[in-house]
Amino acid sequence: METEILSSDVVNARVAPKGSLEHLSQHEIAKLLDAGQGGLYPLFRKCALAVLNSGGKIDDSRVILEKYRDFDVSIVREAWGIKLEIQNAPASAFVDGVMIRGIKEHLFAVLRDVVFISNEIVESGRFNLLESTGITNAVFHILRNARVLEPQVRPNLVVCWGGHSIVREEYDYTKRVGYELGLRGADVCTGCGPGAMKGPMKGATIGHSKQRITRGRYLGLTEPGIIAAEPPNPIVSQMVIMPDIEKRLEAFVRLGHGIVVFPGGAGTAEEILYLLGILLDPANRQLPFPVVFTGPAGSAEYFRQIDEFIAATLGEAARSRYQIILDDPAAVARALMQGLAQVRDHRRAVSDSFGFNWLLKIPLEFQRPFEVTHEAMRALRLARDQPVHELAADLRRAFSGIVAGNVKEYGINAIERHGPFDLHGEASIMEPLDRLLRSFVAQRRMKLAGGEYRPCYRLVA
C-alpha cells in the first residue's frame, strides 16, 4: 500500500484488493468510473466513503459528503490486476499509514457487490425482478456471490435488529445478550451499523472466545440508501450490500434462523412489521421462527408501546408470533436456542436448506421496492378492509418512508422541497400509530436536529 498523509483528517492511498475482485473487465472499470446516467461511480463513491468513515459520529449522508467533498476513488489497472486509488479519504481508516484490514475488506466488498448487482442481477436479464420467484433468486445469488451461504452448518444464525443510536444502558445490554448467544455457539447477523447492530457482535466475540470458537460469524447486511447513516462496524467479518431495503429484509429472514429485536426507532418498527406481516401470511402459519423482543428494564415502556400498537393494528395473531423478555440476557439466549432446535427439526422434516429458507413464503407486496415519494405515502392503504398481512405491508411502507425522511439523503431532500409526508388512514389505525410515533419522539428515538425532532410526516385520519 502506498499512502500519503495530507493532514490529521485526510490521506491519499493506493490499495490492493483483499478477498474480492482482484480482476475487473474493461467494461466494469468503465462503468465504475462513469459519473453519468447509468454509471456506477456515484453509488460506488458514496458506499466507499461510508465504509472509510466507519466509526464516525455523523449520521447524515449529506454532511459526510460535504465534509469529504474532495474524496475521490478511481481504479488503476496493473499487470497483476487492479488497485484502488483513493484521494482525501478519512484518516481514521488508517493506522500508521496502513489501511485497517477490516475496513479494507469492507471496501472491496462494496466493489464486489456494486459490480455483481449491476452486471449479473440488473442487466443480465437472468432474473425477473417483477415477480416473487425472480426476486428471491436474485437475493440468493447476491448472497452466494458474497460467500455467506453455509448450507452444512446447523441452524445457529441469530439476526439482531435495533436502533443505531441508542442510550448506553441499552447498548451494554445488547452486548450482554450477544455474549450469552456466543456462549451457546450462536452466530450473529445484524444490519451492519453501530448501536444495537454492533453490541451483539461485540458480546458474541467474547462468548465465542471463551468457548474457543474460532470460526464465529459476524454477518452484516446493509443497502446503499442507509449505509452513510449506519456505516459498517469494525466487528463485521462478512459484509453484503443488498440493492434496496426490501431485498435486505428478505436476506435477513432467508438467512436467519431466529430474530432478536432490541430497542430502536422507526427503522426497527419497519423491520418488526415486515417480519410479522410475513409470519401472518397463512402459508407461513406453521413455520417455526423464534422472535424475542428484549431490552433492559429501562426499555419496558418502549416495548409496551410496540406491543400495544401491534395488538391495536394487527391483532392477537401477530402478538402470538413473538415473546417479550426484559432484563434477562440468559433467558433470551435460552429462548432462541430452543427455537433454533425447532427450526432445525422442521427443516430436516421438510427438506429445506439450513442456509437459506426457501420454503418461507414472502408475498410480492413485501418484495417490491417501495419508492418513497409524497404521492406514494399518501396512497398507502392504512385500512382494515384487507388481509392483516397486507395491512402490515403498508404499515411497513409507512415506517420506511419515515426512515427515509429522517436519515436518507433523498428523503431529507424531498421533505425540504415539499414538506412532510401525509399519511391517510382509518382512525382505528392512525390513532395507535400517532401514539407510537409520539412515544418515539418523547423517548428521543427519532433523529434530532438542534436538540428537537422535526416530524417528516403528518397523520390524517
CA 287 to chain centre: 23
Counted residue by residue, the chain has a size of 461
CA-closest candidate to residue 393, choices 268, 273, 306, 313: 273
Which position has the grid cell 409496551?
304
Determine the pLDDT at residue 74: 85
Domain assignments of the chain as residue spans, ordered by start: 2-126, 150-350, 364-460
Long-range contacts of 206-215 (CB under 8 A, 24+ apart): 206/179, 206/182, 207/178, 207/179, 207/180, 207/181, 207/182, 207/183, 208/182, 210/182, 210/183, 211/182, 211/183, 211/185, 213/182, 213/185
Residue 89's contacts (CB-CB under 8 Å, 6 or more residues apart) are 10, 11, 12, 13, 49, 52, 68, 71
Burial string for 317-336 (b: 16+ CB within 10 Å, else e) reads ebeebbeebbebbebbbebb
What are the cell numbers at 263?
430497542
Residue 58's contacts (CB-CB under 8 Å, 6 or more residues apart) are 64, 67
Per-residue pLDDT of the chain (461 residues; tens, 9 = 90+): 566 766 668 889 888 876 555 567 777 777 777 766 667 888 888 888 989 988 665 555 667 777 888 899 888 877 666 788 999 998 888 998 888 999 999 998 988 898 889 888 988 889 999 999 999 999 999 999 999 998 767 899 999 999 988 999 999 999 999 999 999 999 999 999 899 999 999 999 999 999 999 999 999 999 988 887 788 998 999 999 999 999 999 999 999 999 999 999 988 999 999 999 999 999 998 899 999 999 999 999 999 999 999 999 999 999 999 999 999 999 999 999 999 999 999 999 999 999 999 999 999 999 999 999 999 999 999 999 999 999 999 999 999 999 888 878 788 889 999 999 999 999 999 999 999 998 988 888 876 555 677 788 888 87
Q: What is the pLDDT of residues 440-457, one digit of tens each?
A: 888 888 765 556 777 888
CA distance 410 to 405: 8
Determine the pLDDT at residue 92: 87
Count CA within 13 A, CB hemisphere, residue 387. Answer: 12
Q: What is the pLDDT of residues 223-270, one digit of tens each?
A: 988 887 788 998 999 999 999 999 999 999 999 999 999 999 988 999
Strand ranges inside 365-446, DSSP E = 421-424
CA distance 290 to 342: 9
Q: Does domain 2-126 have CATH number 3.30.1850.10?
A: yes
CA distance 163 to 143: 24
CA distance 337 to 158: 9
Which position has the grid cell 419497519?
270
What are the cell numbers at 58?
455523523
Question: DSSP string of 68-122?
Answer: TTT-EEEEEEETTEEEEEEEEEEGGGEETTEE-HHHHHHHHHHHHHHHHIIIIII
Three-state SS at 31: helix
CB 296 within 8 A of CB 169: yes
CA distance 392 to 182: 32
CA-closest candidate to residue 239, choices 110, 50, 99, 61: 110
Assigned architecture for domain 150-350: 3-Layer(aba) Sandwich (3.40)
CA distance 306 to 367: 24
Angstrom distances, CA of residue 348 to CA of 124, 279, 283, 286, 434 = 34, 20, 18, 15, 44
Strand partners, 426: none
CA-closest candidate to residue 61, choices 197, 226, 192: 226
